[in-house]
Amino acid sequence: MDPAWLRVTVVYCAPACEDSSELTMPSGSTVHDAIAASELLTRRPELRDSIDAGVWGQRCALDRPLADGDRVELYRPLTIDPKEGRRLRADLRKRGVKS
């Protein structure tokens, strides 16, 4: 591929959906540019208020430059504190209920 262009994937996954866009972006594009070009926020307006993104599983700033082959991921907000979730599952196991 021409070094002036990058191939990038933008993904968002939730329990009932998977949204993925394959993009060709100009070299020097940022995470923000890829999210805008994917139009993911148009399809998933609930994500507009707090964009939490990363590249290949590592959280990053929206102004991070992209490299060819990067996978931009949008993360869902937590619905429960992870420590609280573990405590609740442990309580259920103690009572003999599978989670």
Query: Contact 12/73 with Cβ under 8 angstroms?
Result: yes
| Predicted pLDDT of residue 81 | 84
Q: How far is the C-alpha of 96 from the C-alpha of 99, rounded, in Å?
A: 10
The predicted structure's pLDDT at residue 98: 62
pLDDT tens for the chain, 99 residues long, are 567 899 999 999 888 888 899 999 999 999 999 999 999 888 888 777 778 899 999 999 999 999 999 999 998 877 788 898 899 888 888 887 665
pLDDT of residue 29: 95
Helix (H) / strand (E) element for 92: namely: helix 82-94
Q: Measure CA of the first residue to CA of the last residue in the chain; give whole Å.
A: 47
Residue 41's pLDDT is what?
Answer: 86
pTM beyond 0.85, yes or no: no
Cα diameter, the chain: 60
Name which of 16, 9, 15 is nearest 35 in CA terms.
9
Q: What is the pLDDT of residue 32?
A: 94
Provide the pLDDT for residue 78: 75
